[in-house]
Amino acid sequence: MMNYEQLVARISRAGGKTLEEITRLVEAKRAKLSGLISKEGAAQIIAAELGINFDKEKIKIGELLPGIKRVNVVGKIVSMNPVKEYNKNGKSGKIGSFNLADETGNIRIVLWDTNHISLIENREIADGDVVEISNANLRNNEIHLTGFSEFKKSSEIIENVKIGRQFSSGKIADFVVGGSFSTRAFIVQAFEPRFFEVCPVCGSRVMAEADGVRCEKHGHVLPKKRALISIVIDDGSGSIRAVLFSEQIEKLEIKEEELQPAVFATKKNEILGRELNLSGNVRQNKLFNTMEYFVSDVNKIDIENLISELEK
């Protein structure tokens, strides 16, 4: 997702003003709103006041920002997923999805329209194709296409694409739903682990049936047990509940046997107060109407690098 510096640079180019002028306008706007808005949010207000409309402009994937109403991108399909059928709340249909990448980043694309999905089913559009998407929506760090969106092959050539997930460095106070952020924070609370079962092949959640456990993709399987831990992290600007799964729990130096309730009570005291570098996605908890931080990577603080950054 686009960071603050990238956003200011785009506004500067489109508005014919220097970076310093745009930065002063953003700070003035934040001061007027008593600091109740993030720098990115204030920058978007400044863009609107300058008559800059990003809705019709083609944008790089790495420059996408939560709050953009219309998305127009060009990218290469790097991973096509099978079309799935769904039946929910009396509605049925198909859903298609794939990962799209360019030289700045990558993102998941979700297709709902039957005409768009048929292009995939008939292999008119496939893995490796460069495609153009117009008039799409950005939702929870994904691009969703509706019947009003355009989806077609592009004549553009894209050679070098970024496959890895991209994170913007930021404070918890600046987190927004759908954003991907990295931050340095302290663990201030930890809750008992919860356990669930997944497919041993693809890692997807499994469903319990009368004749065993079933994965949507791989049929009946012998499930694998996974754990998750909820913690609360704080970086001085604010706090947020964070969710860590098995791979990230291991990076907290918590062994599988230490996840049992009788043992975890002791281990919990060891991790409280620990400072870490975290990366992940921010999502909305619909039950409590709060933001949650789903952690995808955990790293120890490198003291030497930290001192070097502070000296700069």
Distance CA 232, CA 290 (A): 13
Residue 118: how many CA atoms within 13 Å on its side-chain side? 4
Domains of the chain in start order, with CATH, are 1-52 (no CATH), 66-165 (2.40.50.140), 168-197+226-311 (2.40.50.140)
Rounded average pLDDT over 16-42: 88
C-alpha distance across the termini of the chain, in Å: 25
Whether the pLDDT of residue 310 is over 60: the answer is no
Confidence at 185, pLDDT banded by 50, 70, 90: very high
**Entry pTM:** 0.55
Whether the pLDDT of residue 309 is over 60: the answer is no
Strands of 235-289 (E only): list them. 239-245, 275-285
Confidence at 2, pLDDT banded by 50, 70, 90: low
Helix (H/G/I), strand (E/B), else coil: 212: strand
Residues 6+ apart with CB under 8 A from 85: 92, 93, 94, 95
Conformation bin of residue 273: beta by default, left when phi > 0, alpha when psi is -120 to 50:
left
Q: For the sheet containing 219-220, what is the strand order?
A: 207-209, 212-215, 219-220
- Residue 173 β-bridge partners: none
In this predicted model, what pLDDT tens digit does every residue of 193-247 receive, in sequence order?
Answer: 998 888 887 777 888 888 888 887 788 888 888 889 999 999 999 999 999 988 8
Q: Is 242 in contact with 285 (CB distance < 8 Å)?
A: no
In this predicted model, what pLDDT tens digit does every residue of 94-121 receive, in sequence order?
Answer: 999 999 999 888 899 999 999 999 999 9
Helix (H/G/I), strand (E/B), else coil: 70: coil
